[in-house]
Structure 1
């Protein structure tokens, strides 16, 4: 007598073909160890009946799972969980978008030794002005000027990281509970912030240059945007997660529409240092309505939690109020490290090293994943577009191999959307470890077609 299967049949949530959703559901449960090695799976006909799908659909799903090594068929007995290979002692993390490590122990020690000679207890034990010391604001303004953003230091606020700068920008730009327009795929931190504020998020279609102007115009003419302050959160350079970068004409068109419909822009320009000099920030094209966010953690070191927010004069008082309400001041020690690195050339040297290593890592990824070698992709993350159901399954299969990627639905404004993908962050692991993980992921991609990097489908 055959034992009944312990698995409770289900299809994964979201869009996708039935066999893809069945694959995703079983792969997730196997990865989560809800199904033990050797556990029996339901017979084809029984599973098809219980889920209301065709027997051929079950056969196709089981075949995909068997190719991945997650299940195995035993003649005359049925289908069983094959179990996962033992996970490595350390998971390779490609989920967090960190820059390549360009800061040596020796350099950091030299910086801290120098600061120890300059920093006294009185200075460390005092409050800084909420927006930062005037000389620090001037230094940061000069750093941004090298990235094509000219801004008076008195319009620049020093924040406790870029995430804090985004929160201050939202608070200064519009009351909570309004409309926030953004890319259909966008930075998860901005999604969480908008939802925490009670804002209504509207996701806009993307293409290979990021946000599409026709999608923005259509949304602005819709009843959903008829009343109240409209806020546009947008990442024009090396968009997170797709790595798309707007060309000059696209930037001009986005600005034209925002002026025509009186939309306030929050520009996330965190990767500006990696983009060519020919592309101006939106804050230079529409300085009267753009709040510009940048920071040092993505371009120098994650431990340097310094964010900058450049604010139009009309929003400055509200931004200062929001800044005081959310953080008394940025870390004095971080500000002193910033001061030293921006004055002694360390910042430019580290940034140059990051650009070089990022290009090396991107070339490796494109080669191993058999993607196109685009010259206009200078960052350290890439995007693999695929149906959301397949992305869920891929992420689970990668985790089973000891490789963590960003949860596929984290950057989705609409988590039920059919089109999604996988972001791979290439900066954190050692180079040889990155090579190992990408080789493994290339094998997982063999289950089906994936679009080339940069050829982002219209979402």
Structure 2
């Protein structure tokens, strides 16, 4: 005798097809814990009669749920809930875009011991100059040069990270009467900054290389009066991984010159210099704020960033820095100085690049062509899909104990978008957890292989 199903049949309240409404209703109830693993689902005919839908509709819905790993069919017995409620246990976080953890306890101990032997107590006994000590600015400028950005250290300001750098640039250029233009899908932090400063945002359509120059040109031609600025990540764009080629970079600069607007270039995902892909700040130094940091390339807790401002904007940017931060942590500066002088920074950077390459290859082997394969080294990947699919994937992944970047957090313009999708951050989790999470996400997406 078959067990009675505990599920109260219903269809989700939407204008979608009966199949989608049944899938949505059952998936929501399973993921919310209203049904437990092993609970029997209604028989096909019984469910069809109770909901007044076709048996074929029930069959299609059950197949979709089975592909997503939410239910399983037992021959001769029926359909059962298959999802283990792992959300009550440890979460696997694919929402934090941090580099792979390559710093060991031994390396940290060696660094702190070296600092202790040579530390200058004056570094900890007084405020540094606004913008940082000259030696630290020289060291960071040399690091940036190794990434392809040459600058005079006197034109560089030390900040509390790239996010702080972007905030300074935005406040120096724009105000609530201005407009921020950015990629249709962009860094969640810049969206939060613009909203905090009450600066309107305009998302510009994208293609495989990022912002489309013609679309930017058209939007700038009809922009509202007031100051305008373009925020852009030309290399390994966050979240889509798009990288601008040289011609695209030149075209974007030409459009900004034609409309006489400033540029904020976020270069935190450039892991090595590429002479064929110079920063926008090298192509248009008179109008580009260049923001970078060591937290993405070396270690997330090394909160030291640098902002290179155009000469005509340097004084007011320095004033903005004075108003928002007195100093960067002296200990962080000491660690930076030690790593940049003893070669540790290069060793860590190479280890991060190697580990990032391994993790992206793992993601590609599991997610296949549903993932947009990046052509630069990095540690986040992009799954293009409709806004509805992205929201559904976020919800279902959370039910499995997997956190992914909320799709709404990266959308410059609210609502459905042709450039929508989901960002998966590969750097933070242990490799075994990453493999588990990616395999689970593959099972949630029709057309993806469930194993590697």
Q: Tell me if both proteins adopt one fold, taking TM over 0.5 as the criterion.
A: yes
Confirm whether residue 126 of structure 1 aligns to residue 121 of structure 2. Answer: no
Asked if structure 2 preserves the Cα contact closer than 8 Å seen for 1:48 and 1:55, the reply is no
State the partner residue of 1:363. 361
The alpha-carbon deviation at position 6 of structure 1 amounts to 9.2
State the partner residue of 1:263. 261
Asked if structure 2 preserves the Cα contact closer than 8 Å seen for 1:6 and 1:39, the reply is no
Alpha-carbon separation, structure 1, partners of 2:84 and 2:306: 45
Q: Which moved more, 1:255-264 or 1:411-420?
A: 411-420
Asked if structure 1 preserves the Cα contact closer than 8 Å seen for 2:33 and 2:85, the reply is no
State the partner residue of 1:198. 198
Asked if structure 2 preserves the Cα contact closer than 8 Å seen for 1:363 and 1:373, the reply is no
Segments of structure 1 that go 5 or more residues without pairing to the other structure are 451-459
The alpha-carbon deviation at position 309 of structure 1 amounts to 0.5
Aligned residues: 439
State the partner residue of 1:388. 387
Aligned partner (choices 230, 233, 247) of residue 232 of structure 1: 230
Confirm whether residue 317 of structure 1 aligns to residue 315 of structure 2. Answer: yes
State the partner residue of 1:456. none
Matches within 5 A, 1:170-249: 170-222=170-222, 225-249=223-247
Alpha-carbon separation, structure 2, partners of 1:435 and 1:3: 34
Secondary structure of the residue that 1:272 maps to in structure 2?
Answer: coil
Pair 1:170–1:21, CA change in 2 (3 A): farther
Secondary structure of the residue that 2:368 maps to in structure 1?
Answer: coil
State the partner residue of 1:438. 438
Instruction: Give deviations 1:265-324, integer Å, cap 9, x for gaps.
Output: 000100122463320000000000000110000000001001110001111111111111
Pair 1:21–1:158, CA change in 2 (3 A): farther
Instruction: Give deviations 1:82-107, integer Å, cap 9, x for gaps.
Output: 66443473222111111112212111
Asked if structure 1 preserves the Cα contact closer than 8 Å seen for 2:71 and 2:79, the reply is yes
Pair 1:24–1:284, CA change in 2 (3 A): farther
Asked if structure 2 preserves the Cα contact closer than 8 Å seen for 1:293 and 1:307, the reply is yes
Asked if structure 1 preserves the Cα contact closer than 8 Å seen for 2:93 and 2:402, the reply is yes
The alpha-carbon deviation at position 29 of structure 1 amounts to 5.7
Q: What's the Cα RMSD here? A: 3.4
Pair 1:272–1:83, CA change in 2 (3 A): closer
Pair 1:4–1:19, CA change in 2 (3 A): closer
Secondary structure of the residue that 1:203 maps to in structure 2?
Answer: strand
Confirm whether residue 415 of structure 1 aligns to residue 414 of structure 2. Answer: yes
Instruction: Give deviations 1:369-401, integer Å, cap 9, x for gaps.
Output: 223896823211111101111112222222222
Asked if structure 2 preserves the Cα contact closer than 8 Å seen for 1:27 and 1:393, the reply is no
Instruction: Give deviations 1:194-253, integer Å, cap 9, x for gaps.
Output: 11111111111111111111110111122xx14111110001000000101000000000
Matches within 5 A, 1:282-297: 282-297=280-295
Segments of structure 2 that go 5 or more residues without pairing to the other structure are none
Matches within 5 A, 1:116-155: 116-119=116-119, 122-155=122-155
Q: Which moved more, 1:412-421 or 1:310-319?
A: 412-421
Alpha-carbon separation, structure 2, partners of 1:200 and 1:45: 52
Q: Which moved more, 1:233-242 or 1:425-434?
A: 425-434
Alpha-carbon separation, structure 1, partners of 2:25 and 2:157: 47
Q: Which moved more, 1:25-34 or 1:410-419?
A: 25-34
Alpha-carbon separation, structure 1, partners of 2:344 and 2:201: 40
The alpha-carbon deviation at position 64 of structure 1 amounts to 2.5
Alpha-carbon separation, structure 1, partners of 2:333 and 2:261: 33
The alpha-carbon deviation at position 407 of structure 1 amounts to 1.2
Instruction: Give deviations 1:52-99, integer Å, cap 9, x for gaps.
Output: xx999888556533543446899xxx9997664434732221111111
The alpha-carbon deviation at position 162 of structure 1 amounts to 1.0
State the partner residue of 1:281. 279
Pair 1:317–1:73, CA change in 2 (3 A): same
The alpha-carbon deviation at position 28 of structure 1 amounts to 4.9
State the partner residue of 1:340. 338
The alpha-carbon deviation at position 193 of structure 1 amounts to 0.6
Alpha-carbon separation, structure 1, partners of 2:57 and 2:323: 55
Pair 1:291–1:28, CA change in 2 (3 A): farther
Alpha-carbon separation, structure 2, partners of 1:391 and 1:295: 30
Q: TM-score, normalised by structure 2?
A: 0.86
Alpha-carbon separation, structure 2, partners of 1:193 and 1:18: 42
Asked if structure 2 preserves the Cα contact closer than 8 Å seen for 1:386 and 1:422, the reply is yes
Matches within 5 A, 1:15-94: 23=23, 27-28=27-28, 30-33=30-33, 63-70=63-70, 84-87=84-87, 89-94=89-94
State the partner residue of 1:403. 402
